[in-house]
Structure 1
Amino acid sequence: LQAPEVAQSISKMTFITATDGNHGRGIAWSAKKLGAKCVVLMPRGTSSERLENIQKLGADAWITDVNYDATVAMAADMAEKNGWTLVQDTSWDGYEEIPTYIMQGYLTMAKEAREQLGEEVPTHVFLQAGVGSMAGAVASFLKSAYGDRAPKIVVVEPFSADCIYKTAAADDGELKVVEGDLKTIMAGLACGKPCTLGWKELRACASAYLRIQESVAATGVRVLSSPLKEDPRILAGESGAAPIGAVIALLADPNLSEIKNKLQLNKSSKILCFLTEGVTDRKSFLEIVWEGKYPSAI
C-alpha cells in the first residue's frame, strides 16, 4: 500500500470513522502511515486526552454533542455526502464488507493466544462487548479452533450500555437498542446498538451475558495495576479491564455464587481474558487507582 503507484491514489482519499477512542486512534495511525486524510468523530462525553491522542496523529477529530450510535450515523452521512470512505467497526444492512475485514483483523489476537496456550485449553473466555464485533469475532474463532473442547464464552457489558445483553435476553430475532447518554467509565463499551455481524456470531457461540457495575471494571483496573507475587504489573483502561473485573467479582463475591455455579467456575477453571485497552485516560485511571473512585463492594 505504500508503493509509489498506490500511495498516490491513497493520498487523495479521506477515511472517516466514529469512535469511543481505540478504533479511531487506529484509523488515524493507519491513515498517517498511508498518507491519507482522516476524519474522526467522537461521542459526547469523550475525554480530552482520547481526543488529543487522535489529533496528534494528524486526524481532523472532534467531539460531537450526541451519543456513540448517533455519532456513527453522523459519520456515515458525512461519508456519503463527501465521497469519503467510512471505516466503521460495526455493521448494519448494506454496510458489512469493511466491518467484516475489521472483525477478521481481531482474529489476530485470538490466533496468537491459542498459539501461546499450546496444549492448554481454556474452560472460560470472558469478552467485553461494545457493539459486539470484537467479541463475536473472537468467540467464533475459538469455537472453530477448539471444536468440542471450545470454552464457555461469557460476554461482559456495562449496565448503562447493555444492548447485547438485552438482545440475548429477548431472543426474538430483533436487535435491541439502548438509547440515551450511555454514560460509563468503560467508554470503549458505551455502545447502544449491536453490530449485526457480531451478534450473529455471539448468538451461535456465547454461553452467557453479564452486565457489570462501574465498580467491577474499576476493580479490574486496580488489581491489574497492583499485582501479587510474580504476576506482571499491567496498566489497563476500564474497558480493557472489564472482563477481569467480572471474573474477580464472580470468584470473590458470595452474593454471586449462583451465577458462578451456573457458569461452572471452580478451582480447576482456566480463564482467559483479552485486555483490549491500555491507559487512554490518565485522569480516570488515577481517580480509580489513587483516589479509590468506584470502590468495590466485595
Structure 2
Amino acid sequence: MTLKYDLVQNDISKREKTDLSFVNEETARKVLKYHSSFDQYTETPLVELKELAKYLGLKDVFIKDESYRFGLNAFKVLGGSYTIGQYIAKKLGKDIDELPYKTLISDKVKEELGELTFITATDGNHGRGIAWTAEQLKQKAIVYMPKGSAHERRDRIRAHGAVCEITEWNYDDTVRYCNELAEKNGYVMVQDTSWSGYEELPRWIMQGYMTMAYEAYLKLQKQNIKPTHIFLQAGVGSMASGVCGFFSSVYADSKPIITIVEPDKAACLYGTAKADDGKLHPVTGEMNTIMAGLACGEPITIGWPILNAYAENFLSIPEETAAHGMRVLGNPLKGDESVISGESGAATMGVVSQVMTIDELKSIKESLKLDENSVVLLFSTEGDTYFEGYRDIVWNGAYPNK
C-alpha cells in the first residue's frame, strides 16, 4: 500500500500566543443563543464510536454529525446565518442578542432594512447556507460556484430562491469575482475567508462555527470526558481556526493535541506551516479534489495566527483517505451508529483509521501521539451533499486504498 501522507509538526511552545477573546466560551454562548432562536434549530448528534475505538486501539472516538444541521446536511449554515444576523444588527445599531429569529423576520425589521442582497462564492455548503438564511429572512442571495462544481449542489442552492451559477474559474478566482460584483452593485459580500480590508464578516463566520464546537464541549463536559486529540479539516481554515481557538481557550490548562487536515491538492495551511517564514503560501490552479469543501488555495488571514499558535500538526492527505473515512463511518462495526459523511466531512476519520491500522503510517501515528489512552474528537461537517459521488465511493468502491 502506498498512501502518501505529509506531516508538518508545529512546536507551539515557541509560538507567540494570539488573542482568543473573540472565540472564547462567552462568545460561543452568545452564538449558540442566536442559532437556537431559529425554529429549525436542534442540537446535532455527538456520536460515540466505542467499537471502532476498540478496534483501532484507541480509548474512545466521538464524531459530531453535522448532516442534521437545520435540515441542510452540512455545518456551513452556522457561519453564514450568524454573520448575516451580525450584519443586520450592526446596520440597525443593535446587539445581536436583541435580534432573535422571530425579531429578524418581523415586518418592523424588514421595513427598517429594506431589501438586501447577499453574495458569496462557494463549493456548495456555504452557499446553500447563505441562500437558506436569505430565504428565511425574505432577502436576496446570489451565489457563484467554481469550475467543476456538482450541478446537484447548484440546484439545491437554487431551490432556496437564490441566483446560482457555476463559473469557469477556481474557488479563489470566483471569490474575487463575487467581491467585484459586491463593490460594483452594493451587495453584501459574505465570504468565509478574509483579506486586507475584509475581516469583520469572516470573523463573524468563524464565530458562527463555534455552535457545533460548543455543543460538543457541553455534551462531553456532562459526561466528564475531555478529548486528548481533535482533528479538524480545513479549506481556507475559517472553521478550523474558529474551532481550534475555541478549544484552546476552554481547555487552556491542558489543551488537546490539534491536527489540521487538508487534501494534498489544496494544502495551503500545510504549505504555510512548512515554509514557516511568516508568510501565507497559497496554492493555485484547479485544485481538483473530491474534497470539494476543502478545495481552497488561499489561507484565511485572520485565522492563521490562531492555527500557528495552537495547532500542533498540519497534515496533507490523498483522496483515498477521505473515501476510506466515508466507508468507515457509513459501515459501522456492530454496536456503533452509522454516520453518513461526505468527502470533506469524513477526511479526518480516514486519517485516524488509516494511521492506526496501516504499518507504513506508523511514524505518523507516533508523531500524532495516538495510542490506547487517546480520546479523539472529530467533526463530520457534511452528509451526502453530493449523493452521486457518495454512492460511487461508498457503494461502488471508488478511490480504494492502494
Q: Work out whether the TM-score is over 0.5.
A: yes
Match of 1:110 in 2: 213
Partner SS state of residue 149, structure 1: coil
Shift of 1:11: 4.9
Aligned partner of 2:286 in structure 1 is 181
- Residue aligning to 1:151: 256
Distance 1:141 1:131, change over 3 A: same
Q: Secondary structure, in 3 states, of the residue corresponding to 1:62?
A: strand
Secondary structure of the corresponding residue to residue 40 of structure 1? strand
Q: Where does residue 201 of structure 1 map in the other structure?
A: 306
Cα deviation per residue 1:35-56 (whole Å; 9 max; x = unaligned)? 1110000000100101011000
**Deviations for 1:200-236, whole angstroms, at most 9, x for unmatched residues?**
2111110001111111000010111111111111111
Counterpart AA for 1:5: K
Structure-2 separation of matches of 1:291 and 1:278:
18
* 1:11–1:35 contact (8 Å) kept in structure 2: no
CA deviation map 1:53-84 (0-9, x unaligned): 10001000000000000000001010000000
Q: Which runs of 5+ in 1 are unaligned?
A: none
Deviation at 1:290, TM superposition (A): 1.4
What amino acid is aligned across from residue 248 of structure 1 in structure 2?
A: S
TM normalised by structure 2 equals 0.73
> Any conservation in 2 of the 1:10–1:34 contact (CA below 8 Å)?
no
Larger relative contact order (Cα-Cα within 8 Å, sequence gap ≥ 6): 2
Percent sequence identity is 52
Task: Give the whole-Å Cα distance in 1 for the aligned partners of 2:111 and 2:336.
Answer: 48
Q: Distance in 2 between matches of 1:87 and 1:263?
A: 35
Corresponding pairs, count? 297
1:75 aligns with 178
Residues 216 and 249, structure 1, Cα contact 8 Å, conserved in 2: yes
SS across alignment from 2:248 = helix
2:226 to 98, 113, 121: 121
Q: Secondary structure at the match of 2:218?
A: helix
What SS does the corresponding residue of 1:196 show, helix, strand or coil? coil
What secondary structure does 2:253 align onto?
A: helix
Match of 2:117 among 14, 17, 38: 14
Equivalent residues of 1:122, 1:272 under 8 A apart: yes
Partner Cα distance (1:238, 1:262) in 2: 25
Moved more, 2-11 or 284-293: 2-11
Please state how far the C-alpha of 1:263 moved relative to its aligned partner.
Answer: 1.4
Residue aligning to 1:230: 335
Contact 1:11-1:34 at 8 Å conserved across structures: no
After superposition, give the CA deviation of every residue in 1:174-221 in whole Å (9 maximum; x if it has no partner). Answer: 111111100000000000000011212111110001111111000010
Evaluate the alpha carbon distance shift between residue 9 and residue 36 of structure 1 in structure 2; reply closer, same or farther with a 3 A threshold: farther
- Opposite residue 218 of structure 2, the aligned amino acid is E
Trace 1:84-103 onto structure 2 (pairs within 5 A). 84-103=187-206
Asked whether 1:52 is paired with 2:121, we answer: no
Amino acid at match of 2:140: K
Name the structure 1 match of 2:47. none
Asked if residue 248 in structure 1 is aligned to residue 353 in structure 2, the reply is yes
Partner of 2:326: 221
Q: Distance in 2 between matches of 1:295 and 1:41?
A: 32
1:61 corresponds to which of 118, 141, 164: 164
Q: Distance in 1 between matches of 2:245 and 2:400?
A: 34
Distance 2:242 2:306 in 1: 7
Structure 2: tracts of 5 or more residues without a match: 1-103
Match of 1:281 among 383, 386, 398: 386
Task: Tell me the equivalent position of 1:296.
Answer: 401
AA in 2 matched with 1:262 = S
Letter in 2 for 1:181: E
Alignment pair present for 1:36 and 2:157: no
Alignment root-mean-square deviation, CA: 0.9
CA distance in 1 between partners of 2:163 and 2:118 (Å): 10
Query: Residue deviations 1:130-175, cap 9 Å, x none?
Result: 0001000000110110112110000000000000000011111111
- Separation of aligned partners in 1, 2:380 and 2:185: 36
- Aligned partners of 1:235 and 1:22: how far apart in 2? 15
Of the structure 1 ranges 2-11 and 64-73, higher mean CA displacement relative to structure 2 is found in 2-11
